[in-house]
A and B are shown apart, each in its own frame.
Chain A
Amino acid sequence: MGTLGLGHYLLLSAVLFGIGVIGVLVRRNVIMVLMCLELIFNAANINLVAVARFRPDLAGQIFTIFTITVAAAEAAIGLGLVIAMFRNAQTVNVDDVHLLEG
């Protein structure tokens, strides 16, 4: 096992980030895409808090609070957009929204 270092947390955060990115790229449902974005936010938060623990500097934790604030705002706006999209296009699939396609 060994002692726990910063690298462990950074590696976990990288894996979580990768899962989030693959979700954003692969899923067709726009609600799912937003959820995977939240996963990516979480990976960034783990990085910030881990660096704040090991550096040590409290600013990382405060930045995390701001990140969570921005994530909440993003979720509210994104889900409002989803509702508007569903009302106008009657779908939540990202592939089916191609109004600008020639």
Chain B
Amino acid sequence: MESIAFYIIASIVIVSALLMVTSRQLVHSIVYMVVSFIGVGALFILLQAEFVAAVQILVYAGGIVVLFLFVVMLVNLNEVNEGEYLHRQWLPAGAMLLVLVAEIGYLLWGGAGALAVAPEQAETVLRAVEQGNTETIGMSLYTDFLLPFEIASMLLLVAMIGAIYLAQKRV
């Protein structure tokens, strides 16, 4: 059952990612990107990471996509759509990518014994018996990972100021 769900979701994610990369219209690409992001969120649910799945849907399929849509509306699409939509050097890029994927595949193939892990003991760590996944993550985030959490909030503040400064209209 789980593997059937995995294959369905994985095919949705990969097909929508391919359509996103190849589609000529920018808005179509964004729609396919939403589908791919939601599929990745479903994969997170399959991996028993409910909180991360919720964050994925909220931040990616919600926030970032709206950001992209705003920028697509801000830049002039009529001018953008003209001419070639692919880079001139797409052939060498594709060859390089084939080499890269072959390398990754070889590594995964060669390390198959190391990668085969029994998932039986997974339940206890990811979800404490009386707590849910969200509570466990929240507890860990505010105790063990408190400093990275604060640094991430600083990063978001800096990014917000930088984005406002970059996008403002010079007077």
* Count of B interface residues, CB-CB < 8 Å: 87
Interface 1/0 per residue, A25-39 and B, CB below 8 Å: 111110110111011
Q: Is the CB of B74 within 8 A of A83?
A: yes
Residue numbers in B under 8 Å from A81 (CB-CB) = 166
Q: Of A7, A25, A36, A70, which contacts B112 at CB under 8 A?
A: A7
B104 to chain A, nearest CB (A): 4
Q: Of A29, A74, A80, which contacts B166 at CB under 8 A?
A: A80
**CA–CA, A31 and B125, complex, Å:** 40
Interface of A is mostly: helix
Q: Is the CB of B52 within 8 A of A42?
A: no
Whether B93 is near chain A, meaning CB under 8 Å from some CB there, is: yes
CB contact under 8 A between A7 and B108, given known A1-B7, A49-B49, A56-B126: yes
Lowest 5 CB-CB distances: which A-B pairs, in order? A80-B166, A73-B159, A25-B93, A56-B122, A23-B21
Residue numbers in A under 8 Å from B48 (CB-CB) = 53
Interfacial residues, chain B to chain A (CB-CB below 8 A): 2-4, 6-7, 10, 13-14, 17-18, 20-21, 26, 29-30, 33, 36-37, 40, 43-44, 47-49, 51-52, 55-56, 59-60, 63-64, 67-68, 70-72, 74-76, 79-80, 84-90, 93-94, 96-97, 100-101, 104-105, 108, 112, 115-117, 119, 121-122, 124-126, 133, 136-137, 140-141, 145, 148, 152, 155-156, 158-160, 162-167
26 contacts between A and B (CB under 8 A): A8-B6, A11-B105, A14-B105, A16-B17, A18-B97, A26-B21, A27-B85, A32-B29, A38-B37, A39-B36, A45-B56, A49-B44, A49-B52, A50-B47, A56-B119, A56-B121, A56-B122, A58-B126, A64-B52, A69-B155, A69-B156, A73-B156, A73-B158, A77-B163, A91-B79, A93-B80
